[in-house]
């Protein structure tokens, strides 16, 4: 409707001057607006209601009406753009840029500054280039952008400190004895709807993780989950596992409540207890509002709107202001290849073994400081000065996700070049369903992936062995069952780390997995933000974000 109103105002401005009082008849306006007499009346009433024109209709057929145009095209655009920015909507803004070019650019600059100042004064934030969000259900998503929101609207029973050690969260105390984990819940936790969180809510949330989702394998070891009282939970495992409490600190184990807030047919979320609640969610934006009765550290901002603007808006909306305060964290990651022995493969197992051996040595030449022999033994590879390239034949299909970090794209480019140097024909297939690597099992021979390894290392290796994307790509059902039996036996033993290391090394020895590189990337995230964030950059946990004095140069 706003686009139509602006177009109609522009038609009038092409014929009439501002602030001049015109006596016009409807026949003339039909021609100017290229529409019917009935629509003329509707259009002029709409423009008059917006305050863009003054229109006094005539009394009697054939008599003249009075028309005064008050707003310029820039004025109208500014009014519309301010409302769209306030709501975190960008589809119409992109359309207006296409239609009115530099006039929209100038109006958008003013609207952005005004909305930015308003946001700063009211502790609100608009992030214009947040990735698309399809799910905020911790049971079903593994996407970083979605888990970032999950951590803001939900809490876990336990948390980890910077050293990876467990600390209280929803559960203020816990005790592991053999196969039984007992947790005591805080009594003062309010859900987003104001009700108290109960032990039955927690049991319901944990129980749903036993059935489905990309991390279901983490919970296969659970025998039962029961509420012993209003504030006490008991989890019984099939075997003893001292690493299990770490699972309850992962975002996938976030506690969701059975009650659902439905925004439209596609967008809904389970109520949570986190520092933010979901206030609105549709195709254009997602709005987080501060949970005013949060039991722990409150969010510093009152509201955060996450939108996905078109890339063409980046430079139009950018501010020439210095960056605010940031924080830097270290990301521990592990990249590797997994081999899928397909019946219709275009490469023989013998040639795969030759390629495996070649890449195993050649990676030390590409990145000697990052090349590793595995997770449990992350020693640097010895640099090999000369190595003959095997001459291989056939076609190899390599699946990989779309890389967003430059060093990962460089690693993929190196791998592609190394494979083609052997004479193999390489076809690269994009893995679009990141949560379901098995979706390309019938089409691909190899999967290249990098995954974050959680701390501490013994838990990180355990979690990786249970839910790694590469393993879900290669293992069929009976292989999974055997693999999980080995893991369960290892963690029930006196020295779990040793048993897990043996399982990992066996995968390498059987040429199913080729470890490549360790990643310890410094990730810098913004903490101090402006009222509108335009640039594509990392953000700290949303509850930590704060708006500083824009007059202070850091």
| pLDDT tens column, 46-89 | 999 999 999 998 766 667 889 999 999 999 999 999 999 988 88
pLDDT score of 404 more than 90: no
- Tally of CB atoms within 10 A around 401: 18
Residue of 49, 14, 18, 50 whose CA lies nearest to 29: 14
What lies within 8 Å, CB to CB, of 182 at 6+ separation is: 174, 175, 228, 232, 233, 234, 235
Q: What gap in Å lies between CA 301 and CA 143, rounded to an integer?
A: 24
Question: Mean pLDDT, to the nearest integer, of 239-258?
Answer: 93
Task: Find, among 143, 265, 310, the residue nearest to 214 by Cα.
Answer: 143
- pLDDT tier at 166, thresholds 50, 70, 90: very high
Residue 553 pLDDT > 50, yes or no? no
Return left, alpha or beta for 300; rule: phi > 0 is left, psi -120 to 50 is alpha, else beta. Answer: alpha
Distance CA(278)–CA(263), nearest Å, equals 10
Residue 440 reports pLDDT greater than 80: yes
Instruction: Give the pairing type, strands 425-430 and 395-400.
Output: parallel
CA pair distance 127, 334, nearest whole angstrom = 30
**pLDDT higher for 406 or 62?**
406
What's the CA gap between 204 and 227, in Å, rounded? 10
DSSP 8-class letter at 99: H
Contacts of 528 (CB under 8 A, 6+ apart): 324, 325, 326, 545, 546, 547, 548, 554
pLDDT of residue 552: 42
More confident residue, 410 or 312: 410
Buried b (16+ CB within 10 A) or exposed e, 218-235: bbebbeebebeeebebbb
* Cα dihedral 533→536→540→543 (10° resolution): 40
Is residue 434 within 8 Å of 299, Cβ to Cβ? no
The full length of the chain comes to: 554
**pLDDT recorded at residue 143:** 82
What pLDDT does 551 receive? 46
| 554 vs 392: which has the higher pLDDT | 392
pLDDT digits (tens, 9 = 90+) for 120-156: 889 998 888 888 899 999 988 878 889 999 999 999 9
**Residue among 303, 279, 281, 280 at smallest CA distance from 290:** 303
Domains in the chain: ranges and CATH: 1-71 (1.10.10.10), 75-122 (no CATH), 144-321+525-547 (3.40.190.10), 327-521 (3.10.105.10)
**Which of the residue ranges 251-255, 493-497, 498-502 would you say has the lowest mean pLDDT?**
493-497
Mean pLDDT, rounded, of the chain:
88
- pLDDT for 215 equals 75
State the burial class of residue 549 (Cβ atoms within 10 Å of its Cβ: 0-12, 13-18, 19+).
exposed
Q: What is the pLDDT of residue 454?
A: 85
Cα 436 to the chain's mean position, in Å?
A: 16
- Which pLDDT belongs to residue 276? 96
Q: How many CA atoms lie within 13 A of 551 on its CB side?
A: 1
Local structure of residue 94 (DSSP, 8 states): H
* Residue 360, C-beta contacts closer than 8 angstroms, at least 6 positions apart: 514
According to DSSP, residue 308 is labeled: B
């Amino acid at each position: 409707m706003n686009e139509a109103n602006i177009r109609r105002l522009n038609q009038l401005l092409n014929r009439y001057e501002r602030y001049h009082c015109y006596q016009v008849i409807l026949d003339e306006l039909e021609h100017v607006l290229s529409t019917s007499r009935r629509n003329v009346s509707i259009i002029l009433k709409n423009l008059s209601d917006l305050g863009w024109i003054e229109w006094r209709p005539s009394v009697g057929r054939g008599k003249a009406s009075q028309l005064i145009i008050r707003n310029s095209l820039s004025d109208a655009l500014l009014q519309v753009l301010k409302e769209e920015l306030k709501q975190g909507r960008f589809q119409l803004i992109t359309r207006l840029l296409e239609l009115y070019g530099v006039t929209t650019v100038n109006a958008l600059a003013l609207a952005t500054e005004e909305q930015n100042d308003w946001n700063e004064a009211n502790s609100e934030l608009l992030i214009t280039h947040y990735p698309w969000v399809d799910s905020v259900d911790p049971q079903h998503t593994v996407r970083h952008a979605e888990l970032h929101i999950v951590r803001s609207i939900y809490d876990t029973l336990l948390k980890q400190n910077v050293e990876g050690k467990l600390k209280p969260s929803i559960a203020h105390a816990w005790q592991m004895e053999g196969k039984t984990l007992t947790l005591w819940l805080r009594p003062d936790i309010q859900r987003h709807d104001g009700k108290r969180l109960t032990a039955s809510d927690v049991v319901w949330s944990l129980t749903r993780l036993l059935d489905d989702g990309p991390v279901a394998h983490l919970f296969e070891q659970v025998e039962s989950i029961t509420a012993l009282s209003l504030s006490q939970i008991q989890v019984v495992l099939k075997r003893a596992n001292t690493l299990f409490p770490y699972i309850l600190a992962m975002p996938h184990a976030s506690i969701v409540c059975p009650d659902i807030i439905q925004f439209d047919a596609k967008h809904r979320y389970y109520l949570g207890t986190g520092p933010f609640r979901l206030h609105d969610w549709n195709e254009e934006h997602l709005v987080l509002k501060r949970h005013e009765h949060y039991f722990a550290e409150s969010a510093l901002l009152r509201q955060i709107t996450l939108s996905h603007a078109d890339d063409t808006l980046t430079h139009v909306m950018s501010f020439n202001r210095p960056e605010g305060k940031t924080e830097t964290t270290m990301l521990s990651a592990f990249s590797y290849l997994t081999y899928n022995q397909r019946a219709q493969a275009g490469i023989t197992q013998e040639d795969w073994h030759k390629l495996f051996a070649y890449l195993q040595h050649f990676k030390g030449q590409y990145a000697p400081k990052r090349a590793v022999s595995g997770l449990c033994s992350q020693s640097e590879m010895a640099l090999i000065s000369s190595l003959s390239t095997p001459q291989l034949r056939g076609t190899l299909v390599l699946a990989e996700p779309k890389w967003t970090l430059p060093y990962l794209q460089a690693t993929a480019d190196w791998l592609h070049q190394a494979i083609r140097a052997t004479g193999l024909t390489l076809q690269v297939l994009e893995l679009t369903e990141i949560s379901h690597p098995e979706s390309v099992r019938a089409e691909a021979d190899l999967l290249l992936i990098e995954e974050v390894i959680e701390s501490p290392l013994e838990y990180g290796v355990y979690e990786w062995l249970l839910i790694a994307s590469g393993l879900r790509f290669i293992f069929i059902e009976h292989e999974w069952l055997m693999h999980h039996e080995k893991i369960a036996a290892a963690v029930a033993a006196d020295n779990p780390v040793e048993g897990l290391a043996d399982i990992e090394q066996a995968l390498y020895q059987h040429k199913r997995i080729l470890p490549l590189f360790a990643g310890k990337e410094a990730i810098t995230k913004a903490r101090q933000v402006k009222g509108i964030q335009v640039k594509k950059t990392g953000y700290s946990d949303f509850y930590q974000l704060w708006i500083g004095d824009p007059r202070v140069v850091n």
